[in-house]
Amino acid sequence: MSGLTIVGMSGGVDSAVAAAMLCREGREVHGLFMANWEEDEAGYCTSAEDFQDARRVCQQLGIPLHRVSFASEYRDRVFEHFLAEYAAGRTPNPDVLCNREIKFGVCLEYARRLGASVFATGHYARIDRGDGRARLLRGIDTGKDQSYFLQAVNASQLDMALFPLGGLHKSEVRRYARQLGLTVHAKRDSTGVCFIGERPFREFLQGFLPAMPGPIRDLDSGAILGEHAGLMYYTVGQRSGLGLGGRRGGSGSAWYVARKDIAVNELLVVQGTEHPALFGRALQTARVDWIAGEPPGRSFEAEVQIRHRHPAVGSRVDLDAAGRASVRLEAPQRGIAPGQYAAFYQGEECLGGAVIEAATVQA
């Protein structure tokens, strides 16, 4: 096949198998490793180890490996937004912005400057080009599907993209890696923040944002139940970490975060997993990023996914003149968190997505 294919190599098994599959197709393949976070003394950032794993895989495959850092771009375009959202008491998802701004933004452009005509990654998603435009589809493996994280990538970015693993299940990828004898075949999947790694989250945030303790209030009775460590450490629907045991006169059920009152620095909680305050029947978003560049209409039916691995729910979507969405859900959904992303689907196709601004609690 003509043209250079560059594979974004993370040091993990997914990108390794993606590169191996493309080599077997007879493509000219190069690897590209991004180190986008400064190393820290605590050792939570595994960039150096991951680079060595990527280097060994590329040596096994007989392909060159390039290394680049977009640390300043990552901090300016992703991490500053991440901190601002937490400071505002919201729950951000940096992976969505990281894909648009870094992996399929500056990194894709860098790959193009290296001479690539194709930029491939180990994402579990698919691209359909059957009607002359790039459409983003869910990956075949429903448990690993990553189309939600790609909701803000536009069609022009997808035109150059390739997802070799989109039609595979994770078990097949692991088996393929073992058969090829790739050194990363049993390497554990990373679950940390994009490029930052896995680390004690409260300790990490405290290095950038001041903790502001305040009262925990029972939403129903108005009683003060305790003190929270800082609103940035909690998200809507959260149970663990509240430090609230059984209360005299209470139901004995577990406590959950219902919402955060930023103005008075209060954490509002309710008892019981089925409490109505935990369920939203509608949501409002910021301006929607549409993969095709425009929505399917000003008012339309779609399935909406409010976070990764949450089942998509049928919805009515209405857009205002600024491109913001008002979404009426067919069934109330638990734990709709401002700051997270809502992704819009029609069948297997991801149409785009937007940051959730607010939710209307179930009546």
For β-strands 279-287 and 324-334, DSSP reports them as antiparallel
Q: What is the pLDDT of residues 4-50, one digit of tens each?
A: 999 999 999 999 999 999 999 999 999 999 988 765 544 555 778 89
Range of the domain at 268: 211-273
Residues classed as catalytic: 98, 194
Q: How many separate domains does the chain show? A: 3
CATH number at residue 250: 2.30.30.280
CATH number at residue 121: 3.40.50.620
Verify that 148 and 217 share a domain, yes or no: no
Verify that 218 and 299 share a domain, yes or no: no
Q: Please check whether residue 22 lies inside any domain of the structure.
A: yes
Verify that 8 and 149 share a domain, yes or no: yes
Verify that 268 and 193 share a domain, yes or no: no
What is the distance between the alpha carbons of residues 164 and 61, in angstroms, rounded to a whole number? 16
Verify that 92 and 177 share a domain, yes or no: yes
Query: What band does 320 get if pLDDT is binned at 50, 70 and 90?
Result: very high
Query: What band does 204 get if pLDDT is binned at 50, 70 and 90?
Result: confident
Query: Which three-class secondary structure state does DSSP give residue 129?
Result: coil
What is the distance between the alpha carbons of residues 96 and 104, in angstroms, rounded to a whole number? 11
Q: Please check whether residue 206 lies inside any domain of the structure.
A: no
Mean pLDDT of 119-124: 98
Q: Of 181, 201, 221, which residue is a domain's last?
A: 201
Q: What is the pLDDT of residues 256-294, one digit of tens each?
A: 999 999 999 999 999 999 999 999 999 999 999 999 999
Q: Of 201, 224, 253, which residue is a domain's last?
A: 201
Which parts of 78-226 fold into alpha helices (H)?
A: 80-87, 94-98, 107-113, 155-159, 170-180, 201-206
